[in-house]
Each structure stands twice: as structure tokens, then as C-alpha cells.
Amino acid sequence: MRFELTADQRDFARSLDALVTASDPVGIARAWADGDTGPGLKLWQRIAEQGVPALLVPEEYGGMGATPVEMVIAFEALGRHAVTGPWVETAAYLPAALADEAALGAIAEGAVATVAAPPHTPYALDADIASQVYAADGESLWSAAVSEAQRPSVDRTRRLFAVTSGAALPASDLAHAFDLAALATAAQLLGAGERVLADSVTYVKQRRQFGREIGSYQAVKHKLADVRIALDFARPLALGAALDPTPLSVSAAKVACSDAAYLASRSGLQVHGAIGYTQEFDLSIWLTRIRALVTAWGTPAFHRARVLESVTAPTAGAEDR
């Protein structure tokens, strides 16, 4: 089967990419890491005007009622530009988890929301700037409040907070919400991996050693070609999971996108050499983001175990054969 995005989906991807590109996302990420969330929140509202938080909110609550395919398209763009903020929590998890019309309407209009959902997501991302904070355990949902100071993360733009549960809230399908969050994270990893690969290709065409561009060496070409192959194999899994977000398809996509993005980060760091280690170099923003997202919303070990469980589970009637 050949999967092709529609013209409207391609236009949506281009418009979102153009909006974020023109907004200096690198500068915003650096400011966010330093505690200045103002520019990031302005970008949040501009992206909200494009409808990203409203994608999965049902139309009767003021949302767009879009499919997970549009969500994957949007989150790949967010990952490619390292956009800051609790986007997975707001635009992927909570629209499927909440059963509150007012809360869903606020998200569709651009409110910042976040959630802690242990054990896979024990801390709430950017809870200090969210207007709605929740806690979930896979079966129940509560309102929540920040209980402790910010926790450290390998990615300085990911500001993590422990929360305490408050009043119980009506919930929708929390298992499905988890799968959508994991899929959105996979899409972010895919976009981040694409950005690291693009920057690495640009760099090896410029960096000269022994009188030649380092990109002319076969070892460098093969290393980056392996990244290209990994990303190209991961994308159909992400889009396939968007068409049918079952636990098996989502976990397979999360594993593939995590592995591809991590390979991109390792290869990008190697071809950049010592400069790739420096915090001042823009590559570091994506390297640390990838490292954090690989374990966000389920570690690779957890998702591999889900894939194994799904493919080895006995089918109905198998015990009779």
C-alpha cells in the first residue's frame, strides 16, 4: 500500500513549518531554558491559531475533530524546530483523556495544559506556566497542583515538576490517550532526527579536512546514509499508527522513531566533532531533546515489551487447535 498525504495535509504541514521557521525557534528554546517563557508562549498562541491544540478536540467542544494523521504531521514539524512547551500533553493526551466540555474548549482555544501520568510520565512538563494541570494513573484522572521545585532534565528546555493530586475528574479513554501521547512523541522524534540529519549533511559539505570536504569520505557518507534509511523506515510506521493507533502499532512506531532519531543524534555528533559537544552550538538543542524524548511516554524497553506481547499473544481459538 502506498500512503500519500492529501493536498490539504501537505498545505497544513507547509504553513505550520513556515510559521515556526519565521519565529526564531532556536532563540525561543534558549530563552525557555533560561527561564524566559514569554517568547515561547507567544509562539504557542500563534501555533494555536493554526489549530494544533484543537486537532483532536471533538467538534462539539470547539475543536477540529481531526484524525491522528494530522497530529503526526503537526508534531513532526514541532520536533523539527524543537518547539518548546507541553504540546504532547495539551494536544495529544488531554483531548482523549478529558471528559469535561469546558476544559476541552479551553484547550481548543489555546490554553496551556499539562499532566503527570506515572509510571511512564512521572512529572508534569512546564506545570508552572500551565493554566490546567492534571494527574493520571491509567485508570483515573485528577486535577493537580505543583508540589515541588523544578526537577532537572537532560534537555534544559524540558522543565519538569512533581504534582499532587486534587479532586477526581470525569475521564474518557486514558489508555487511548496514552497511545496518542506516545505517537505524538514518536512524531517529534522523527522531526528532530530529520533536522539533525539535514544539519549534519550541510556541515559535512562545508567542513574541510586534508584539503577535502569531509562529506566526500565514504565512511561519512555511509554513516549519514544509514540515518536516512532509518528515518525513512520509521516514517511509514508513524503514519500507519496514525491510521490505526493500536498499542502494537503505536509502540512499533515509538521504537522505530526513537532508534532512528537516536542514530541521527549519535551520527550527527560524530560528524560534527568537538563542536557538537558545545552548548552554544545549535545542534545541542536537538541532541538533548532527542535524548529526553526517547524515554518520554514509555521507554524503549516498555514499548518493545508491548510489541512482543502483542505479536506473541494467542489468537482467539488458538487453544482449540
> Does residue 214 surpass a pLDDT of 90?
no
The answer to whether position 299 is within a domain reads yes
What lies within 8 Å, CB to CB, of 86 at 6+ separation is 112, 113, 114, 124, 125, 126, 130
> Does residue 321 surpass a pLDDT of 50?
no
What is the model's pLDDT at position 279? 82
Mode of pairing for the β-strands spanning 141-146 and 132-136: antiparallel
What b/e readout covers 88-112, taking b as 16+ CB neighbours within 10 angstroms? bbbbbbbbbbbebeebbbbbbebbb
> Does residue 215 surpass a pLDDT of 90?
no
Total structural domains within the chain: 1
Got the DSSP string for 304-315?
Answer: HHHHHHHHHSPP
SS3 143: strand
What is the model's pLDDT at position 198? 96
> Does residue 320 surpass a pLDDT of 50?
no
Tell me if 123 sits within 8 A of 86, measured CB to CB.
Answer: no
Tens of pLDDT, residue by residue over 9-42, are 999 999 999 999 999 999 999 999 999 999 999 9
> Does residue 159 surpass a pLDDT of 70?
yes
The answer to whether position 78 is within a domain reads no
SS3 139: coil
Read off the pLDDT band of 317 (50, 70, 90): low
Residue 223: how many CA atoms within 13 Å on its side-chain side? Answer: 22
Tens of pLDDT, residue by residue over 227-257, are 999 999 999 999 999 999 999 999 999 999 9
Q: Grid cell 475521564 — which residue?
A: 171
What is the model's pLDDT at position 270? 92
Tens of pLDDT, residue by residue over 74-132, are 999 999 999 999 999 999 999 999 999 999 999 999 999 999 999 999 999 999 999 99
What is the model's pLDDT at position 210? 79
User: Helices 7-21 & 68-80, crossing angle to 10 degrees?
Assistant: 30
Tens of pLDDT, residue by residue over 43-67, are 999 999 999 999 999 999 999 999 9
To the nearest whole number, what is the mean pLDDT of the chain? 93
Please report, for the domain that includes residue 244, its CATH number: 1.20.140.10
The answer to whether position 285 is within a domain reads yes
Domain of residue 214: give its range. Answer: 176-312
Q: What cell was used for 19?
A: 510559521
The answer to whether position 164 is within a domain reads no
Calculate what percentage of the chain has a pLDDT beyond 70: 97
Between these two residues, 313 and 141, which has the higher pLDDT value?
Answer: 141
The answer to whether position 263 is within a domain reads yes
The answer to whether position 282 is within a domain reads yes
Read off the pLDDT band of 186 (50, 70, 90): very high
Phi, psi (deg, nearest 5) at residue 141: -130, 140
What is the model's pLDDT at position 265? 96
